[in-house]
């Protein structure tokens, strides 16, 4: 799954040694989506990916992630584990692409009609029925 947003917080790098004696590390971030109603999402990179994708606050990224849950002492915990992050240029995201001119030999696009060429609207009858005979309202 993918989600696009801006990094708003970089948490401390966590590291340690597993019961099997293997070293591990985890880097957590908070991403805020670019939707009209932004949402905050905490995710992490685990192991070698913590070094592979160094992100900083303010980076606009598209994050590819997996969701996994685990049970511990009768409670369930859910992690959002990133496996790929692609940085995007924030200036490019805001700029709309310019339309290309027609190639040689192609017809030019038809002009769009403007308000001066629009068909006239029919007149509206604003008379009010004072007698109540044409009124079919229940009150």
Which pLDDT tens digit goes with each residue over 10-34? Answer: 999 999 998 999 999 999 999 999 9
Q: Is the pLDDT of residue 69 over 70?
A: yes
In this prediction, residue 89 carries a pLDDT of 75
Q: Nearest 5°: CA angle at 58, between 68 and 87? A: 65
What does the alpha-carbon distance between residue 68 and residue 26 come to, in Å, rounded to a whole number? 15
Question: Taken in order 67, 71, 77, 83, is the CA torsion positive or negative?
Answer: negative
Q: 71-82, pLDDT tens digit by residue?
A: 999 999 999 999
Per-residue pLDDT tens digits for 82-106: 999 999 875 654 544 444 555 555 5
Which residue has tokens 């995007």? 88
Predicted confidence (pLDDT) per residue in 39-59, tens digit: 999 999 999 999 999 999 999
pTM: 0.62
Q: Which residue has the tokens 């859910």?
A: 78
**CATH T-level fold of 2-90:** OB fold (Dihydrolipoamide Acetyltransferase, E2P) (2.40.50)
- The domains of the chain are located at 2-90
Cα-to-chain-centroid distance, residue 85 = 14
Write down the pLDDT at residue 96.
45
């Amino acid at each position: 799954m993918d989600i696009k947003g801006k990094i708003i917080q970089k948490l401390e790098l966590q590291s340690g040694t597993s019961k099997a004696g293997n070293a591990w590390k985890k880097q957590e971030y908070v991403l805020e989506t670019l939707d009209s109603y932004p949402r905050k999402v905490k995710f992490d990179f685990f192991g070698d990916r913590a070094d592979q994708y160094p992100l900083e606050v303010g980076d606009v990224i598209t994050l590819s992630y997996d969701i996994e849950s685990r049970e511990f002492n009768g409670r369930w915990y859910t992690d959002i584990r990133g496996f790929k992050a692609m940085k995007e240029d924030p200036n490019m995201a805001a700029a709309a692409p310019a339309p290309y001119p027609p190639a040689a030999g192609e017809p030019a696009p038809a002009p769009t009609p403007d308000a001066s060429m629009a068909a006239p609207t029919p007149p509206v009858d604003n008379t009010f029925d004072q007698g109540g005979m044409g009124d079919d309202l229940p009150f």
